[in-house]
Homo-oligomer: A and B are copies of this chain.
Amino acid sequence: MSSGPKPITLTTDFGLIDGYAGILKGVILGIAPACRIIDLSHEIKPFDRASAAWLIANSYRYFPAGTIHLVVVDPGVGSLRRSILLKGAEGSFVGPDNGTFSRLLKLIENPTAYELTEAEYWLEDVSNSFHARDIFAPVAAHLAAGVKPLQLARQIDIASLVQLPEPRIIITEDTIEGEIVYVDRFGNLVTNIPADKIQQNASISVAGTQCGTLAESYSGGKDGEPVALLASHGFLEIGINQGSALRFFGGGVGKPVVARFRPGR
């Protein structure tokens, strides 16, 4: 590892049109000039906290330990919701306390939660509508430059953090019932059914439509027909070889998915 500042990743629903993401980087470079900044996504659907929660939970582990992840999908900006920092062995997460970190809480080791309280580490004028620029980016930059959590924040109870409703999952001996939790740009439908809970002989259905058994890869599927596979993020996923499962099923998030295991012999 280089001995410079830790990298910072950015996950927002700001889009790439208006310069908002670029401004965050300007603020960071003003505080930590050598900091590496990586866009994870600025195209989260506006206000879609559940997709942000999914995305960061499935991405953070590919970044160097100590990376700081700014995650701001913030419909409540300017209201009384808290500004928080979640720190674990693998990295730190900065953003509003609105459930975006729900999934992370079950994944990261030794999580500690903090509320951002020390305004001397924020921009001088804090607006009511752009805390990513005025609070979260400066805090992330100071963390990257080596400032300690307790200089920026006070520790709070992990159990006090806002949680998003959990997608439904029921695991029995011969079936798992889950649901679609994320749709990617290819129209692949990502479920909440973990790969390591599925038997290789499982037969899969989405909203009552059979998708056959597990395939090795999308290119193993027949053209135009849905394929189920254990995807790179570690969950069951439904796709269509060179096509869109979202279009095939006429919808995505929330649809029920069932994996049924044939009796072994």
Show the binding face of A for B, using Cβ within 8 Å: 1-2, 7, 9, 11, 14-23, 25-27, 29-30, 33-34, 36, 38-44, 46-47, 55, 58-59, 62-64, 67, 75-79, 127-130, 133-134, 184-186, 216-220, 229, 231-232, 237, 241-242
Copies of this polypeptide in the complex: 3
Q: Are B18 and A185 in contact (CB under 8 A)?
A: yes
Expressed in whole angstroms, the Cα–Cα distance for A185 and B21 within the complex equals: 12
User: B14, B133, B242: which contacts A75 (Cβ < 8 A)?
Assistant: B242
Q: Are A19 and B76 in contact (CB under 8 A)?
A: no
Minimum CB–CB distance from A134 to chain B (whole Å) comes to 7
Expressed in whole angstroms, the Cα–Cα distance for A217 and B80 within the complex equals: 11
Expressed in whole angstroms, the Cα–Cα distance for A237 and B127 within the complex equals: 13
Q: Which residues of B contact A133 (CB under 8 A)?
A: 62, 232
Q: Are A219 and B23 in contact (CB under 8 A)?
A: no
Q: Which residues of B contact A219 (CB under 8 A)?
A: 75-79
Q: Are B184 and A67 in contact (CB under 8 A)?
A: no
Residue of A34, A128, A133 with most chain B CB atoms under a 10 A cut-off: A128
Given contacts A14-B185, A16-B41, A133-B232, A242 and B23 within 8 Å (CB-CB):
no
Q: Are A232 and B127 in contact (CB under 8 A)?
A: yes
Expressed in whole angstroms, the Cα–Cα distance for A186 and B217 within the complex equals: 35
Q: Which residues of B contact A129 (CB under 8 A)?
A: 217-218, 229, 231-232, 237
Minimum CB–CB distance from A142 to chain B (whole Å) comes to 16
Expressed in whole angstroms, the Cα–Cα distance for A29 and B33 within the complex equals: 17
